Structure 1
Amino acid sequence: MQKGIFVGLLACVSTLALGACGEKQQTAPPPPAVGVVTMKSESAPLINELPGRIAALETAEVRPQISGVIRRRLFTEGAYVRAGQLLYEIEDAPYRAALGQAQGALARAQASIRATGLQAQRYKDLVGINAVSKQEADNAAASAQQARADVTAQHAAVQAAQVNQDFTRIRAPISGRIGRSLFTPGALVQAGQADALATIQRTDTVYVDVTQSAAQIIDLKQAMGAGGVSAEQGARVQLLLPNGSVYPIEGRLQFSEVTVDPSAGTVTLRATFANPDGLLLPGMYVRARLVEAQRTQAILAPQQGITRDARGRATAMVVGADNKVEMREVETDRPVGDKWIVTKGLKAGDRLIVEGLVNLRPGAVVQPGRPQQVTAGQAPATHILAQGGKR
């Protein structure tokens, strides 16, 4: 009897265990959770990052206008000099002598002009009474006129000699920072020589010359013509210095060249930057972030949501109807901060998957939610250039 009861209890336990296993096998796993960002249309700046070089606002080479031996150098290398400041003195003894000689010749010419003038007047009176011939009177008048011309010529010679003597004192043509002196006192310099004595550069404001491909300029103009892109007035420019840091002062685009460099296919753009601390040095290589225009109806997709397939095409995973995953092939224009401007494949209202993409396949059912690391908000366009630091 007890053996039958034990067998019955064992059968019941087995039946309950099998029923529980069956219920466990019928329970489906929950759909995977993914982080999504809802796409929306918004205004976005079209930013290009272009290579460029720093150039001084003004550059002047200090050169001798006459030949001679340098007697003194009157400036400190690397110092700030003002326009008109005395920089060099050239030995002026030969030029002082030349000036004195010209002044003496002028005095002789001025002395002879009175004598020839009086003689011409007397001959003019005498020819009326036939005391002298008409030829002699004409010769006297011509001599007086020649004496006056000699005075004019000697005045010019004195001025030229004075100018040459003034050139023995070489002055700064512009205000700015002067570089090293390539000639020392005692060196012989000559007018028209190939090497400058020194170079002065004005760097309180500097130019930044950047190059942009002609193809990019054509694309931008065509986009403006098609609509949806508006030109930026007084385009803003931000500099990335050689060490990767961002220059704290924003610049402005001044103009672009009207011709294309035939060897490189690029156009040169020029911007100006204030340089109060002298951080920007002429010849320095920089990269410029240029806001060229504003795209009014842009779709900005977080870069985490845009991937590449085996063929290199840009793709995106979106949550479609019934929370099923769809794969979209997209086209991107350029990055804006940590997002891409998407020109094809996504539209406002699409739910782009930015988290949980690992092992995700099209057609899978997912549970969309707010991403943990990515937010749907976008920094205002006016602050795009303020972002950054080291790249």
Structure 2
Amino acid sequence: MRIQKKTVLLVVLLVALAALVLWFVLKPVTAKPGAPTAVPVRTVSVVQQDVPRFASGIGTVLSLHSVVIRPQIDGILTRLLVKEGQLVKKGDLLATIDDRSIRASLDQARAQLGESQAQLAVAQVNLKRYKLLSVDDGVSKQTYDQQQALVNQLKATAQGNQAAIDSAQVQLSYTQIRSPVSGRVGIRNVDEGNFLRTSDAEGLFTVTQIDPIAVEFSLPQQMLPTLQRLIAAPEQALVKAYIGADGTTGELLGEGRLSLIDNQINANTGTLRAKAEFNNAAQRLWPGQLVTLKIQTAIDKDALVVPPTVVQRGLEQHFVYRIKGDKVESVPVVMVYQDSDLHIIKGVNAGDQLVSDGQSRLKPGSHIQVLSDPPALAKTAEPQP
């Protein structure tokens, strides 16, 4: 019996020893505390420079002069001297109308003037003779007065003939259609040989001035004091026109100057119309085109500039992470101006290194590892022919 008890006790001790050995073998190893892990970040330097401020709006390109070329007399179109899309200058001959009937009327008026002038010359000679004879009562005063009236009548007839000549010359000038402005010829509505009427609404074609050109746009009425200041400035404000709805991503079409603001605000929309003029030698701005405008409203001198990704928004204010050795510190800043390209801030110094990427893993005092810019992608070799 005692032997059995000893045997059981020995088995229990062996099991306990085996469990203890197994626990030591499977016990997790506690890692020794080491240096904190550095957070990878990218940095930029605070730049000090002059920064122009802009206000944006949507505008429509308008021609400064667009003229529908219409005939001023009825007649057959004999020649078209320009092509569609051709650039013409003011005074260039565009088309001609049949002028034979008008020339015949002009010749007739000139002949009638010559006849009246000849009759007037004879009447004036007789008037001088009657005047001398009236002194000695060689002719009656009635005869003299009648001759004076005839001279006056013939003078009036000659003046009427001259007026007829002038009128015919004006009508003759209408047979040569000249461009009233410099611009580009549009799509024509008639061909040579058509009979033109002054009542035709469409006209022959249009001539639209392309260079210079204007852009009309609208801004909120709150911009009125700013626009008035810009208009009154010695130098006209710079205006940039972009294609597309976003001036930061669209293609720059041209740079112009603010020229005028409208004399009233639209009460329905609360907006104010304004106009800018652009030199358009390259013809990148086209009448009727919708563009995005950016108007330079001011310039911040020696501003502290950072990319938009640098500034973080806290619960109460904006802040940035500034590099201090191998750590970062949180610095509160004041946002002076912001757009999609840059931010102007106060609270840091020019040349300070600020974190531009990786802020989500940072807190004041975090250790950092500054990453270099990613290498440029190598160009894929073109297949050899």
TM-score when normalising by structure 1: 0.71
Where does structure 1 lack aligned partners over 5 or more consecutive residues? Answer: 225-230, 375-391
Deviation at 1:80, TM superposition (A): 3.0
The structure 2 residue matched to 1:141, chosen from 132, 148, 157, is 148
Deviation at 1:304, TM superposition (A): 1.3
Aligned length: 346
- The 3 A distance-change label for structure 1 pair 169 and 149 is same
Deviation at 1:143, TM superposition (A): 1.9
Mapping for residues 188-337 of structure 1, pairs under 5 Å: 188-191=195-198, 193-216=200-223, 218=225, 233=235, 235-242=237-244, 246-247=251-252, 251-253=255-257, 255-257=259-261, 259-263=263-267, 264=269, 265-276=271-282, 278-307=283-312, 315-319=318-322, 326=330, 328=332, 331=335, 333-335=337-339, 337=341
Structure showing greater Rg: 2
Deviation at 1:253, TM superposition (A): 1.2
For the residue of structure 2 that corresponds to 1:274, the secondary structure is coil
- The 3 A distance-change label for structure 1 pair 143 and 154 is same
- One-letter amino acid of the counterpart of residue 162, structure 2: H
Where does structure 2 lack aligned partners over 5 or more consecutive residues? Answer: 1-12, 375-385
For the residue of structure 2 that corresponds to 1:257, the secondary structure is strand
- The 3 A distance-change label for structure 1 pair 93 and 237 is same
Partner of 2:109: 102
For the residue of structure 1 that corresponds to 2:213, the secondary structure is strand
CA displacement 1:338-370 (0-9 Å, x = unmatched)? x2234x7x4437775432222556xx5312564
- The 3 A distance-change label for structure 1 pair 42 and 220 is farther
- One-letter amino acid of the counterpart of residue 316, structure 1: F
- The 3 A distance-change label for structure 1 pair 259 and 318 is farther
Rounded Cα–Cα distance in structure 2 between residues aligned with 1:140 and 1:221? 72
Mapping for residues 48-67 of structure 1, pairs under 5 Å: 48-56=55-63, 58-67=65-74
The structure 2 residue matched to 1:358, chosen from 357, 360, 363, is 360
Rounded Cα–Cα distance in structure 2 between residues aligned with 1:134 and 1:218? 82
- The 3 A distance-change label for structure 1 pair 88 and 39 is closer
- The 3 A distance-change label for structure 1 pair 324 and 78 is closer
Rounded Cα–Cα distance in structure 1 between residues aligned with 2:228 and 2:168? 60
Rounded Cα–Cα distance in structure 2 between residues aligned with 1:291 and 1:33? 39
Partner of 1:383: none
Deviation at 1:113, TM superposition (A): 0.4
Rounded Cα–Cα distance in structure 2 between residues aligned with 1:214 and 1:96? 59
Q: Is the 8 A contact 2:116 2:157 kept in 1?
A: yes
Q: Percent identity?
A: 23
Q: Is the 8 A contact 1:232 1:292 kept in 2?
A: no
Q: Is the 8 A contact 1:90 1:169 kept in 2?
A: yes
TM-score when normalising by structure 2: 0.72
CA displacement 1:137-170 (0-9 Å, x = unmatched)? 2231122123123212211211211221231222
For the residue of structure 2 that corresponds to 1:99, the secondary structure is helix
Rounded Cα–Cα distance in structure 1 between residues aligned with 2:124 and 2:362? 113
Rounded Cα–Cα distance in structure 2 between residues aligned with 1:220 and 1:120? 75
The structure 2 residue matched to 1:178, chosen from 179, 185, 195, is 185
- The 3 A distance-change label for structure 1 pair 119 and 256 is same
Mapping for residues 110-149 of structure 1, pairs under 5 Å: 110-149=117-156
Deviation at 1:289, TM superposition (A): 3.5
